[in-house]
């Protein structure tokens, strides 16, 4: 391994692969907070140059967190397709980039390639890709999954209807849910973040949403985003859940902080199979985001983008129906501004898709970030071009329970119209029958939440 590079007559030397990965990152405040980011533009390029010449075997031999110490590393290495890996292990990361971008490398080849790459390799190649590279490559990969309906169908764009309420008021939740449905949002899932993490609240919301879905024959999924153990207890008591949700991270210690292990997720999947209301085979919903490990101080000196890739390596073991990335949610200490969050969204979408995951993105921001609606809209349009399976849908873009801004019901409908994308097939038919859409556009009744109160 050559860990030295000369940039403009200055030689930069790095100690190990972990340091090269961190310093090759585009600038993110979280890496600076952890004290591992590049100190200058030249050092960043030097790290990228070194990285481009490392072989995949170099990366395989130097996991950023040791196999024996960390469950996430074990899940990644144990799940690797060694036949594919052995065929390509002598490639450099620079060669891997060109293979991914090559015109002959199609969806099928990229899917097979992804099975033979560890998460660190996928992070590595993404560090050598510009924003347009990331969109270009991500666009080629089509990852579908099926719960009650199929997500990721080419030419479609789905949405999670996210009708949160600051006190879990059922009437308040249903008011926003109806508003969203009247804009065509909710084919990915109708998913609520509860304030109170307890079995009664979870069961109450799941039941209400499920009954509404049945009454109006809405082809979608329901989910309440409490801790997975709370949802499991609710399901054991008979609450109707199509999808079980959990936040996951890229190191065992961070997953410990979330109160989650691989065994627990396997149990949740088994429970969803035998007691859940979802058809499957994909029955789980994960959320992730760059910076989670750094903000929990569980990053092991690894940059936040590589940690995010490892999260996907962990997630793919459980064949989720949807993985949602919320990199802009944590705050300015991990992602400072609009430029950083757009970059993170594109990295995450590409990395997740190359892991074989049915990815969605929440291009979002908090009020203490240097970002605004314009940044968010740029991120949303780019991620839609890159083939994100879905986005969130929040009334007016303002999540009144989680206090952050995410894509709105209006954005959802707009992006579909701008790019000529359709709702998921069964949901599109339902929207047409309801008179909400017509010829691929919002119809007159769209935007009237009282169509469900005739």
Partner 1 sequence: MAAESQMEQLIVENVMKELAKRGLTGNVSPNQEETTKKAARPQPKSEPYRESGDDPLTIPEITGIWVPNPENIEAIKVMKQATPARIGLYRAGARPKTGAMLKFMADHAQAMDAVFLDVSEEFLQRMNLFLVDTMAQDKEEFLKRPELGRKLSPEGERIIKEKCEKNPQVQIIVVDGLSSSSIEANVPDVLPALTQGLTAAGIRVGTPFFIRNGRVGVQDHVGKVLNAEVVVSLIGERPGLVTADSMSAYIIYSPNEKTVEADRTVFSNIHRGGTPPAEAGAHLVDVLKRILKAKASGMKLNQ
Residues at the site binding partner 1, with contacts judged by CB under 8 A: 29, 32-33, 163, 165-166, 169, 171-176, 178-179, 183, 331-333, 336, 366-368, 372-373, 395-398, 400, 403, 405, 408, 410, 413-414, 416-417, 441-442, 445-451, 453-454
Closest approach of partner 1 to the CB of residue 439, in Å: 14
Shortest distance in whole angstroms from residue 308 CB to partner 1: 19
The Cα–Cα gap between 428 and 450 comes to: 20
For residues 391 and 180, is the Cβ–Cβ distance under 8 A? no
- Per-residue b/e over 15-33, b at no fewer than 16 CB within 10 Å? eebbbbbbbbbbebbbbeb
For the beta carbon of residue 404, count every other beta carbon within 10 angstroms: 21
- Cα 184 to chain centroid, rounded: 21
| CA dihedral of residues 261, 266, 269, 273 (deg, nearest 10) | -160
Q: How many CA atoms lie within 13 A of 165 on its CB side?
A: 14
**Closer to partner 1 by Cβ: residue 178 or 353:** 178
Considering the complex, what minimum distance in angstroms separates the CB of residue 449 from partner 1? 6
Q: Which is nearer to partner 1, 118 or 388 (CB)?
A: 388
Closest approach, Cβ 254 to partner 1, in A, equals: 18
Tell me the closest approach of the beta carbon of residue 172 to partner 1, in angstroms: 4
Tokens of 391: 């986005």
- Least distance CB 266 / partner 1 (angstroms): 32
Q: Is 18 strand, coil or helix?
A: helix
Q: Is the CB of 94 or the CB of 447 nearer to partner 1?
A: 447
Q: If we measure between CA atoms, which residue out of 239, 168, 173, 230 comes closest to residue 197?
A: 230
- Please state, in angstroms and as integers, the Cα–Cα distance from residue 255 to each residue in 67, 265, 294, 353, following that order: 16, 11, 12, 22
Shortest distance (Å) from residue 165 CB to partner 1: 6
Is the CB of 266 or the CB of 297 nearer to partner 1? 297
Between 29 and 119, CB nearer to partner 1: 29
**83 or 450: CB nearest partner 1:** 450
CB of 145 to partner 1, least distance (A): 27
Of 236 and 398, CB closest to partner 1: 398
Element containing residue 427 per DSSP (H, E): helix 425-434
Peptide bond connecting 117 to the previous residue in cis, omega within 30 degrees of 0: no
Q: Rank residues 111 and 370 by Cβ distance to partner 1 and give the closer one.
A: 370
| Residue 433: Cβ within 10 Å count | 9
Determine how many CB atoms are found less than 10 A away from the CB of residue 256.
14
């Amino acid at each position: 391994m050559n860990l030295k590079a000369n940039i403009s007559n200055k030689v930069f030397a790095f100690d190990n692969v972990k340091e090269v990965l961190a310093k090759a990152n585009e600038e993110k405040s979280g890496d600076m907070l952890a004290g591992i980011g590049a100190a200058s533009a030249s050092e960043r390029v030097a790290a990228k140059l070194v990285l481009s010449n490392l072989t995949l075997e170099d990366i395989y031999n130097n996991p950023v967190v040791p196999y024996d110490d960390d469950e996430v590393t074990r899940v990644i290495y144990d799940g690797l397709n060694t036949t594919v890996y052995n065929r390509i292990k002598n490639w450099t990361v620079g060669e891997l980039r060109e293979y991914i971008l090559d015109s002959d490398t199609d969806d099928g080849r990229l899917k097979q390639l992804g099975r033979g790459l560890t998460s660190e390799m996928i992070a590595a190649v993404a560090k050598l890709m510009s924003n347009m590279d990331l969109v270009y490559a991500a666009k080629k990969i089509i990852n579908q999954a099926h719960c009650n309906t199929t997500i990721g169908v080419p030419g479609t764009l789905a949405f999670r209807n996210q009708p949160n309420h600051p006190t879990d008021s059922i009437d308040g939740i249903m008011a926003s849910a109806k508003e969203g449905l009247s804009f065509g949002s909710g084919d990915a899932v109708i998913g609520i973040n509860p304030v109170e993490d307890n079995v009664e609240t979870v069961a109450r919301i799941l039941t209400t949403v499920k009954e509404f879905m049945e009454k109006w024959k809405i082809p979608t999924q329901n989910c309440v985003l409490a801790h997975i153990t709370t949802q499991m207890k609710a399901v054991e008591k008979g609450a109707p859940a199509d999808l079980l949700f959990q936040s996951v991270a890229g190191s065992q210690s961070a997953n410990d902080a979330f109160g989650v292990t691989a065994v627990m997720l396997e149990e949740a999947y088994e429970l969803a199979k035998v007691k859940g209301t979802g058809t499957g085979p994909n029955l789980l919903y994960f959320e992730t985001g760059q910076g989670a490990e750094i903000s929990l101080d569980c990053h092991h000196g690894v940059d936040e983008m590589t940690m995010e890739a490892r999260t996907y390596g962990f997630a793919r073991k459980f064949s989720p129906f949807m993985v949602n990335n919320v990199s802009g949610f944590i705050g300015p200490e991990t992602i400072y501004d609009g430029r950083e969050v757009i970059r993170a969204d594109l990295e995450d979408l590409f990395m997740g898709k190359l892991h074989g995951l049915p990815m969605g993105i929440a291009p979002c921001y908090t009020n203490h970030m240097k970002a605004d609606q314009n940044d968010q809209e740029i991120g949303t349009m780019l991620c839609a071009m890159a083939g994100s399976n879905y986005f969130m849908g929040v009334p007016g873009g303002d999540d009144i329970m989680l206090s952050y801004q995410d894509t709105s019901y209006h954005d959802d409908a707009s992006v579909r119209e701008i790019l000529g994308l359709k709702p998921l097939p069964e949901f599109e038919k339902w929207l047409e029958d309801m008179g909400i859409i017509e010829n691929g556009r919002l119809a007159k009744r769209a935007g009237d939440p009282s169509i469900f109160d005739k």
